[in-house]
Chain A
Amino acid sequence: MYIISIIFTKIVNKVITTFRLGSGNTWPGHLVLKLNPYIWKDIKKSLPERVAFITGTNGKTTTSKMLRHILEKQGMHVLHNETGANLLNGVVSSILLHSDLRGSLPYEAAVFELDEFTLPVLIKHIKPQVVAFLNLSRDQLDRHWELDVVLEKWQKVVRHMSHEQGLILDRTVSNLRLLAESFSGETSFFDDDLQILSGTGLKGDFNAKNANCALILAEKLGVPGPEAEKSLQDFAYAYGRGEKTLYADRNWQILLAKNPESMNQNLKLIQAENSSTDTILYILNDNIPDGLDVSWIYDIDPKQLRAASRSKKVYVSGKRALDMAIRLQYSGVDVVKENVSSNLREVVNKMIGDGHVRKILVLPNYSAMLAIRKILVGRKIL
């Protein structure tokens, strides 16, 4: 049955990607789970001993990519749901698609970034060697309407973990301390020590946190600290998370800003870098993966918005371009109505029609990030 599921997954993936029917990284797993709910027993057997779970509101993708990078430098083959398909269907798809036809997974480690609600479900089926809870802040409030609910679920997870499993938390996040108290083993903490970023091309407190966390994760999976740190030197940004690209002879950098916390962090980074950026493009969508409610833009610090946008050209797009334009106006940012349009292609064309627009920072939320990548890089994800 397991082998059939694997073959089925591969076929469904092929069909979906060939005919562009949707995401080949989620649908196969979705269908398999419906057809064969007992598949977890076989999946468990096929997984390597080294399994890491990473969750949190922000930094999941970057941290898991860092961990993968470190492990691969050690010569390991690493299974990783790198496309950010971080629900159960994405995890199952990723496992089955990478299994061989004898039902085994030719990998020495598995790194899964998981949605805040998925980790509590997945951990009932798979026992990770180490779990990292990065942070917890407001995000997609129409879905995760209360942080308390998430925290309660996480607490339950930690209570059921055995003491020999690793638990990693951010030392600076006070609302997660509860988790350490509920854990029977010894918790490891990371912080925002910037030292770790020297020698890498990475910037910002939040990337320092991601890197410090990745280091502890690697250590728990058997990679000594100094070696792990060295391998981060040539780490490249994950897609849409600081990614730089050249398009229409202009320099673009995409900084995913999907909730108040990540937007505030990015705005601080823009000011600290004091770079030659001359233009900012804000893109705000309200598609399902973004959350339908855009109220969160009023939790962005208006002073940061104003300071980061100062003496730069400002363009605004996305399905909620007007909402974002209003938020910018109320923060004291000059917004020209002609530079605001929900049609992203049109805004990009307008930008490249302006000779003074040379170096652009793009601040999109999630589906907006995929949309701008499609234009600038030619594809949404990888």
Chain B
Amino acid sequence: MKMTIAYFYPQELNLYGDTGNVEILVARAKSREISVNVVEVGAQDKPDSYFMKNVDLVFMGGGPDSGQKQMYKDLIENKGPLLKEYIENDGIALFICGSYQLMGHYYLSADGSELKGLGVYDMYTQHFGHQKKRCVGNIVCRLHASLLEDPVFKAVNHTGDSLVGFENHGGRTYLAKSLTPLARVMSGYGNNAEDKTEGLHYKNSLGTYLHGPLLSKNPHLADYLIAKALGLEKLASLDDNIINTAHSALEKRFT
């Protein structure tokens, strides 16, 4: 079996060890004898819809302002329409922090300037400057029923019903009422530090503020993405003893 991961903007968007997520997907797939092809898609590259048809999973991380400036124009003008089509056609994708924000309608800066997003997700992000503090810290959140009740998730979940991770964002994201968040915040900030929502689950794509190696301590989510990407109903289980111990230790420590 073969899996193709399209890793968008690996140079520009890799602020908090985001690459670790791809490394983990590859390692976990390989342990199931699935061969993995990671295609890095940078600002210079010109993927077309034929390429996207062969992609099983899209990953995009978050970046510093300078990184986002470098890829923004290319995203809006070139890759945006492809990504939008991919998501709307039920493609499997994971967007973290900066890239998650860019999937919304716009990002409103503290100085009032507005940065247009791709508008795939019915949401917007606002930075309040010094009025509201930056959302930084460990976070624990309980996955939404949309995932917990998914038979594929149930089949691969040996970890629990929560996610543990770290978030670090100035912008606060507000989802339209009709959207399904990825999880509910148990401790930490989440999308906006107000409504307890964290991330977004839209069709087969996920957006989240849990950055860096989100998948390192959430193997259930990693396996869910792999199984979904390949259309499998379940996966052989791995020895996740240390990982699951870490997951429950962190859940306990931070709630």
Chain A residues in the interface with B (C-beta under 8 A): 138, 141-142, 145-148, 292-299, 302, 322-323, 325-327, 329-330, 335, 337, 340
Contacts and interface: CB of A to CB of B under 8 A. Distances in A.
A298 B216 contact: yes
B87 to A, nearest CB: 26
23 contacts: A141-B16, A141-B168, A142-B136, A142-B137, A145-B168, A146-B15, A146-B64, A148-B64, A148-B66, A292-B166, A293-B166, A293-B168, A294-B166, A295-B16, A295-B211, A295-B212, A296-B16, A298-B17, A299-B14, A299-B19, A329-B243, A335-B242, A340-B242
B111 interface: no
Interface stretch (B20-28, B72-80, B141-149, B191-199): B20-28
A138 B217 CA distance: 22
B64 A297 contact: no
Contact of B20 (A138, A295, A329): A295
Contacts, number: 83
Interface residues of B, number: 30
B138 interface: yes
B245 interface: yes
Nearest to A328: B242
Contacts of A298: 17-20, 23, 212-213, 216
A146 B23 contact: no
Given A148-B64, A335-B242, 4 more contacts: A141-B16, A142-B137, A295-B212, A326-B242
| For the complex of A and B, 8 pairs with smallest distance between CB atoms | A295-B212, A298-B20, A298-B17, A322-B246, A295-B17, A295-B16, A298-B213, A146-B64
Interface of B: 14-20, 23-24, 27, 64-66, 134, 136-138, 166, 168, 211-213, 216-217, 241-243, 245-246, 249
A335 B245 CA distance: 14
Contacts of B65: 146, 148
Chain A contact residues, majority secondary structure: helix
Contacts of A293: 16, 136, 166, 168, 212
Contacts of B217: 323, 326
A292 B246 contact: no
A148 B217 CA distance: 29
A295 B213 contact: yes
Contacts of A145: 134, 136, 168
B54 to A, nearest CB: 26
A326 B243 contact: yes
A376 to B, nearest CB: 26
Contacts of B242: 322, 325-326, 329, 335, 337, 340
A151 to B, nearest CB: 9
Contacts of A329: 242-243
Contact of B245 (A141, A297, A322, A330): A322
Nearest to A299: B17
A297 B249 CA distance: 19
A302 B23 contact: yes
A330 B17 contact: no
A142 B216 CA distance: 19
B136 to A, nearest CB: 5
A295 B23 contact: no
A98 to B, nearest CB: 37
Contact of A323 (B18, B137, B216): B216
